[in-house]
Structure formats: structure tokens, C-alpha cells
Amino acid sequence: MDPKTSTGRLAGLSCPLPANDEETIQMAHGGGGRLTQRLLESVFLPAFDNPALALQHDGAFLDVRAGRMAVSTDSFVISPIFFPGGDIGSLAVHGTVNDLAMCGARPIALTAGFILEEGLPMEALRRIVGSMRAAAAGVGVSIVTGDTKVVDRGKGDGVYINTTGLGMVPDGIRISPDAARPGDRILISGTIADHGIAIMSVREGLQFETAVESDSAPLADLVAGLLERAGGGVHVLRDPTRGGVASVLCEIAGASRVGIRIEEGLVPVREQVRGACEILGLDPLYVANEGKCIAIVAPEHADAALEAMRRHSLGAQAAIIGSVVDEHHGRVVQKSRIGGLRIVERLSGEPLPRIC
Amino acid sequence: MDPKTSTGRLAGLSCPLPANDEETIQMAHGGGGRLTQRLLESVFLPAFDNPALALQHDGAFLDVRAGRMAVSTDSFVISPIFFPGGDIGSLAVHGTVNDLAMCGARPIALTAGFILEEGLPMEALRRIVGSMRAAAAGVGVSIVTGDTKVVDRGKGDGVYINTTGLGMVPDGIRISPDAARPGDRILISGTIADHGIAIMSVREGLQFETAVESDSAPLADLVAGLLERAGGGVHVLRDPTRGGVASVLCEIAGASRVGIRIEEGLVPVREQVRGACEILGLDPLYVANEGKCIAIVAPEHADAALEAMRRHSLGAQAAIIGSVVDEHHGRVVQKSRIGGLRIVERLSGEPLPRIC
């Protein structure tokens, strides 16, 4: 998909002209009556086809085994809704599946809550729901229950989606943001800042020789492979979404009461993304990712962990970018390409709103 | 709370004048940096204080036992946000707890996803979060993980909240919308249409001698008592929210392939609510409830079920309003006060948008 097409679609969404009443979302689609039922039957049920959902109960039933369950929730409000490399539908599935993966959990079920704006073209909704179906199928997880609300024109932005995920954590895995220890190595599963730059390039109308695409992708398999090879040695997992790698490392340094030191020269960034960051005045370290993970791993497991990441197609460019240190507790320090040290501060402003 | 105060607040929300940058929601509160962290620490973490949330991970961990889990999700977009008898916060907790109860499940955890509109007064958010805390504490359930997004001014309506609930279904309980059988009795746990009329009276500026309040309340205890007394005899449970009692009965008649017959004279409606319905031209059977349940119960268990409902404070006015019949399959028929029969149709329009 090229950015221009996406921009065109966005323009269509932000000021929709209802060609036909049946072709756009109306308030009555959220009223619980005939039109709600028709929307369910024509859009949601065929796409998310599974026995739990087909029952159309107030909830779904799952037979669970005893153990440690991870639960994660996320609302997606990204603008534009369609972007190079994905759309709000695939993002809503990947985002929550990835949050579960960062808990060390394998996903077992997703829920989906839609807030639709009156006037949303039905065709856009179908496309988004189709993306969710494809993304969920790619991970092997079902959307077991859902909800649809419609808000008045001008009280939404096309569509907002909440997904909540349930997953089971294998025995022996204890991932926690406060578990980083001095000496641990810091791994990143690939190039950073792709998602944020893909979104910004659409918003700002930037043209590149080849389009920068969002890295939106499910990390469940990559993490499963990582845990298999380096299980007990993996102390922390986080996906650097809003606020980017910098914000996540700052949070981990704070939660674990350790220092973190990374080297700029070791952090993988695509050449085009680096160029776009320069044009836009952004530090790639603060730009959002949607298909990358940071792993903080005991030193004796670091090589195995890196190898496990690189073996996966989404981790081919994985790298060790630094380590946890027993100084400047709570702070992240970056060694620049020319050897200087700088403190990586938490973001105080908001360079990239509505990025996820 | 009186409706006028609520309307005043709503007006304040829909066109907020930021008195002070710290007193309203800004885009940066959703950016993942310092302001996001401050919002978490000053508003959400103190209110929803629990160990799972305090960890500030990408998700929460729950130790679950083997069994049948119910999962339900709901997004709340009600306008006005504050209304007589509750607000969007209490409603978001009760709504999802009730959906779990309708699955026969006891709640074990809730998640919360907030979509905040830029400019929302911080005081309004604190009040809503406080209501959620009180409602969750009243049910004995924790909000274990959450998410906050901020959308541009004019792309939301103050606040939208998604809650997803997990609950466990006791052994031997099989509640399902397709389980109604001819001969079953239809019970309602109390007066109908209170929620919808409370909302409409604020919107339309109606004044009553005593305020009509929403019935927003958690049904978990009432349902637990019901299942204890009449367990295996309870075939279907539903809370008649959007679309009211009529829509829920139509759905059950369709799912179970049975006919349903109710008597108008047996359906409890407050005098003031009946009066308001007449003024507004609404049939109370189609007006939303947020603290009532319909139970479809085998005839030999019906008296015990009614007694169990009436024993609970939320079920004092419970009544048997009709029965399931082996004719006009898929249809609901109402016998009027003067003896005539009419078909209760599914709603095709949308008399009450943004009611939940």
C-alpha cells in the first residue's frame, strides 16, 4: 500500500459523504435492534467465525487449565486508520498479542470492542475487520467475544478498537519489569522507529524512494523461540511502542532500580528511517515500534537469546545494544557514535500523538 | 445528584475552557512519556491500587484454577457522562460484571481501557475513576490492568471506557441464550426502563417531583443467590440493556427457536417512568436497564427462583412476567392490559442512542 492511497482514504474517513444509508455506519447500528443485528451478521460474525462468538451471548466461555494467566488490554486510536504496512485492525491484534508475549504468555483468546463513528463507510469497516481476522489467524488466536458502539458524527475518528488478550504463561517463566540485574545484556529484535516514521510520513506527506512501512507484526512466535532457548535467563521483555526504546528503557531502569547503558552505534535503524528522523527532527530512540521487542537477559544466556531471535524472520536484524549497570540507578545513558555519553531522558512532550 | 447539575457538567465537558494546563487532559498525557506516567501515578494507580497493577507491566498475571471461564467486553460511550444514579465509571464496572453474571460467572478480574478527549477536566476524570473504584470494591473485584489513550479535541466525547471482565462459572451451571424450553417461566428482577428514562430526562431537561435514577447496579450477588436456589433450572440469563426487555426476549426467542408470551400487566414499571415514557413516546419494553436481569427458568424451579430474587435488595420487585411457548417460534407476543395480543417487534430505529 502506498502512503498516498492511505491519505486519500483518511480524507474520505474524516469527512464522509454517505453515498447510501446502507453503506455507512448509522447511529441505529449501535442501538441494539435490527441494524445492530444486521451489522453483526453481515460484518463481524462471518469474519471472526468461531463457536464462542456464534452463540451471541453476553460473553464467551473458555475451558482453561490451572496456571498463570496473563491479561492485557489496549485501546487503538491511531490516525490515519490505514497506513503503509497495516491498519488499525491488524495493529489492534498485534499490539495486544505482543503485550501478552511481553508477559511471556502464549495467547489463548482475544476480545474486541469497537467504537464506530456515525458515517464511517461500511467498506472501511469491512476492510479493518478483515485485517483483524487475518492477523488473528496468523497468530492462531480467536476473537471470542466483542461489542460495538456507535457515537455521533464528530465524537470519534472513524473507528477506535479495544482489544483485550488472555494468555497462559509456561511454567518456570517469570518475566517482570523489575527483574533487570546489573550485568544483564539488552537485546532488541530488529530495526527501530519503523512504525512511527511510517505513520508520520503519511501524515506529513513525505515521499521516499521506497515506502517506509510499519513493522506491525506479532511477536508471539519469536518470544516463544527465545524463551525455549534462554528461558530462565530472560528477565524482562517489553515492546517499545509509545515513547519508543528510550521510554521503555527508562521505565525498566526505574522499576528495577538499576542503570542502563546503550551504544548508539549498536542500535539498528534503517537508512531511510534515519533520514526521515533527521528531516522531522526526531530521535529514533523515542519513535514507536509495533513489531519489536527488547529483552533483558542474563549475560550467560545473551548469545543464545540473540541466536534465537535471529533465527526468526522477524528477528533477523536483532542486536545486543547495551547492558545493565550498577551505577546511575534509574537512569539510561547512551554512548554516542563519537564516544560521548548523554543521559536518555523520559519524554516530557508528545512528538507523535495517536501513534497506536 | 439532580439532573440539572449533571447537565451543567456535561456542558462543561463538551466545550472545556482549560483553566490551567495541569487541570485538563492534554495530548501528551497519551504519549507514553512523563505526563502519561504522572497521570498513572496521580489518578489511576492510587484508585485501583492492587499488586498486579502496581507492577506497571504490559499486562497482569492471575493465578487461575482449571474450569470454565467467562469473558465479556463492553465499551461505554454514554452521554451525558454523569447522570442521576451513576456515571460512566460505575456503569462501566456494573455493565461488565453483569454480563459475566449473565454467563453464570463470578467475576475474578476487570481490565479498563480509557479513551480520553483532549481538554477533559482532570477533576471529571478523578470523579469517574473514583466511581469505578467504588463500584469494583462493591463487587469485590480488582481492576488488574489498564490503558489510557488521548484523542484530539473534537474526536471524542470527554471519555469512553472499555471494560473486559473475567469470571469463573461454577460446576453444573450451563446458561445459554439458546436454552429456553417451552413451559419455562420468564422472570424479571425488578422495575424496567429506569436507566434509559434517567438518561433521557437529563438530555431532554425533564423535571419530575422525585428524580428518576438509573438502576445501574451489580447483579453478581443476586445471580449467585438465584443459582444457589434454582441452579440447574436456570436456562437463560440476560440483562436487558440496549434495546430493553423487548430486544432481549426477541433474541432469546430466535436463538432458542421458541415462542415467548408476556403479559403487560405483570411487567413492573415505576409510575414516574411510565409517565415519562408517555411524554417521550417510548414503550418501556424497549428502554434500557442497567441493573436488571431476565431469567428463563424451568417451571418447577420458577417459584424458588422468584423467591431468591426477591430476597436480594436489588430484586425486591421481581416478577414472573410470562412464559415460553411452543408456538409462533422466534416471536415474542404481549397480552395487553385489556386482553389484546400484539407482536413485540425488534427495534428497527434508534430511539435512545448513547445509552450505555
Residue B204 belongs to a domain: yes
- Which candidate in A29, A48, A164 is best for mutational testing of the B interface (most B CBs within 10 A)? A164
Q: Is there a single domain that holds both residue A295 and residue A202?
A: yes
Over the stretch B26-35, which tens digit does the pLDDT of each residue have? 998 988 888 8
Q: Cβ contacts (< 8 Å) between B251 and chain A: which residues?
A: 56
A59 with B346: Cβ contact below 8 A: no
Nearest to A103 among B57, B72, B165 (CB): B57
**Site of grid cell 544466556:** A301
Flag if A72 and B55 touch (Cβ within 8 Å): no
Residue A245 lies in a domain: yes
Contact of B144 with chain A, judged by CB distance below 8 Å, is answered with yes
Phi-psi region of B322 (alpha: psi -120 to 50; beta: other; left: phi over 0): left
Whole-prediction pTM value? Answer: 0.91
pLDDT of B58 reads: 77
pLDDT above 90 (res B351)? no
A345 φ, ψ (degrees, to nearest 5): -85, 160
Residue that terminates a domain, selected from A169, A196, A222:
A169
Q: 171-190 in A: which are within 8 Å (CB) of B?
A: 176-178
Contact: B103, A61; criterion CB under 8 Å: yes
CB spacing of A160 vs B160 below 8 angstroms: yes
Domain check: are B46 and B118 in the same one? Answer: yes
Of B30, B74, B77, Cβ closest to residue A151: B77
Average pLDDT value over all residues in chain B: 90
- Does residue A80 have a cis peptide bond before it, meaning omega lies within 30 degrees of 0? yes
Q: What is the pLDDT of residues B235-269, one digit of tens each?
A: 999 999 999 999 999 999 999 999 999 999 999 99
User: 3-state class of A16 per DSSP?
Assistant: coil
A164–B162: do the CB atoms touch at under 8 Å? yes
Task: Note whether B202 and B329 are same-domain residues.
Answer: yes
Q: Look up the domain containing A62 and give its range.
A: 24-169
| Chain B nearest-CA residue for A54 | B255
pLDDT at A248 over 90: yes
Asked if B238 and B301 sit in the same domain, the reply is yes
Mutation for B interface: A68, A148, A350, A355, most B CBs within 10 A: A350
pLDDT for the residue A50: 79
Asked if the model's pLDDT at residue B10 lies above 70, the reply is: no
Residue B169 confidence (pLDDT): 94
> Any chain B CB within 8 A of the CB of A70?
yes
Chain A residues within 8 A of B60 when measuring between CB atoms: 70-72
Give the domain CATH number at A238: 3.90.650.10
**Could you tell me if B101 and B160 lie in one domain?**
yes
Give CA–CA dist B25/A152, Å, rounded.
21
- Please provide the average confidence, as pLDDT, over all residues in chain A: 90
- Alpha-helix runs per DSSP H in chain A: 3-14, 34-39, 45-47, 51-54, 88-102, 122-139, 194-204, 220-230, 244-256, 271-280, 302-311
> Same structural domain for residues A217 and A138?
no
Assess whether pLDDT exceeds 50 at residue A18: no
- pLDDT tens-place string over residues A131-149: 999 999 999 999 999 999 9
- Among B26, B66, B242, select the one facing A66 at the smallest CB separation: B66
Locus of grid cell 513525505: A206
B64/A62 touch (CB, cutoff 8 Å), yes or no: no
CB within 8 Å: B33 and A75: no
Q: Are residues B143 and B34 in the same domain?
A: yes
Element (H, E) at A111: strand A106-117
Q: Which secondary-structure segment (H or E) carries B133?
A: helix B122-139
Q: Answer whether A30 touches B (CB < 8 Å).
A: yes
Query: Does residue B179 fall inside a structural domain?
Result: no
Does A105 sit within 8 Å of B176, measured CB to CB? no
**What was the pLDDT predicted at A177?**
87
Residue A356 inside a domain? The answer is: no
**pLDDT, greater one: A11 or B57:** B57
Domain count, chain A: 2
Quick check: is A175 in a domain?
no
- Residue indicated by cell numbers 542503570: A259
Does A56 contact B100 at a Cβ distance shorter than 8 Å?
Answer: no
Give the model confidence (pLDDT) of A325-355 as tens digits.
Answer: 999 999 999 999 999 999 999 887 666 678 8
Question: B236 CB near a chain A CB, below 8 Å?
Answer: no
Q: Which of B69, B109, B351 minimises the CB distance to A62?
A: B69
Report CB contact under 8 Å: A77, B151: yes
Mean pLDDT (whole number) for A219-246: 94
Q: Do A111 and B71 touch (CB under 8 A)?
A: yes
Q: CA–CA separation, A236 vs A219, rounded Å?
A: 15
pLDDT, tens digit, 9 for 90 and up, residues A260-301:
999 999 999 999 999 999 988 899 999 999 999 999 999 999
Q: What is the mean pLDDT of residues A46-73?
A: 87
Tell me if B122 is assigned to some domain: yes
Three-state DSSP class for B354? coil
CB-based contact A350 B28, cutoff 8 Å: yes
Contact A62 B71 (CB under 8 A): yes
Residue numbers of B between 249 and 278 with CB closer than 8 Å to A:
251, 255
pLDDT band at B85 (very low <50, low <70, confident <90, very high): very high
Q: Is residue A291 domain-resident?
A: yes
Q: Over pLDDT 70: what percentage of chain A?
A: 92
Residues B205 and B277 in one domain: yes
Closest-CA distance of chain A to residue B31, Å: 5
| Element holding B227 (H helix, E strand) | helix B220-230
Q: Please indicate, yes or no, if residue A247 is contained in any of the structural domains.
A: yes
* Dihedral angle, C-alpha B224, B226, B230, B232, nearest 10 °: -50
Last residue of a domain, one of A169, A194, A227: A169
Q: Is B348 on the interface with A (CB under 8 A)?
A: yes
- Backbone φ and ψ for A275, nearest 5 degrees, come out as -60, -45
Q: Report the pLDDT value the prediction gives residue A324, as an integer from 0 to 100.
A: 98
Q: What is the pLDDT of residues B142-184, one digit of tens each?
A: 999 999 999 999 999 999 999 999 999 998 888 888 999 999 9
| Closest chain B residue by Cα to residue A110 | B71
User: Is there a single domain that holds both residue B193 and residue B315?
Assistant: yes
Burial of B90 (0-12, 13-18, 19+ CB in 10 A): buried
Is a pLDDT exceeding 50 seen at residue A10?
no
- Residue where one domain finishes, among candidates B135, B169, B203: B169
Cell output for A219: 511477536
The pLDDT of residue A21 is 53
Domain co-membership, B205 together with B315: yes
Q: How many CB pairs under 8 A join A and B?
A: 280
ipTM: 0.91
Q: Do B76 and B117 share a domain, yes or no?
A: yes
* pLDDT score of B17 more than 70: no
Q: Does B330 touch chain A (CB under 8 A)?
A: no
CATH for B66: 3.30.1330.10
Q: Which residues touch B324 (CB under 8 Å, ≥6 apart)?
A: B180, B181, B182, B183, B184, B185, B186, B256, B258, B259, B260, B261, B296
Q: Comparing C-alpha atoms, which of B146, B182, B186 is closest to residue B164?
A: B146
Give the C-alpha separation, A274 to A268, whole Å.
Answer: 10
DSSP calls for A251-262: HHHHHHT-EEEE
Do A256 and A225 fall within a single domain?
yes
pLDDT at residue A5, as a whole number: 31
State which residue of chain B sits closest to A165, comparing Cα positions.
Answer: B59
In this complex, is the C-beta atom of B105 within 8 Å of any C-beta atom belonging to chain A?
Answer: yes
Beta bridge partners of A334: A262, A342
Does the structure show a pLDDT above 80 at B5?
no
pLDDT of residue A127 exceeding 80: yes
Is B346's CB within 8 Å of A103's CB?
A: no
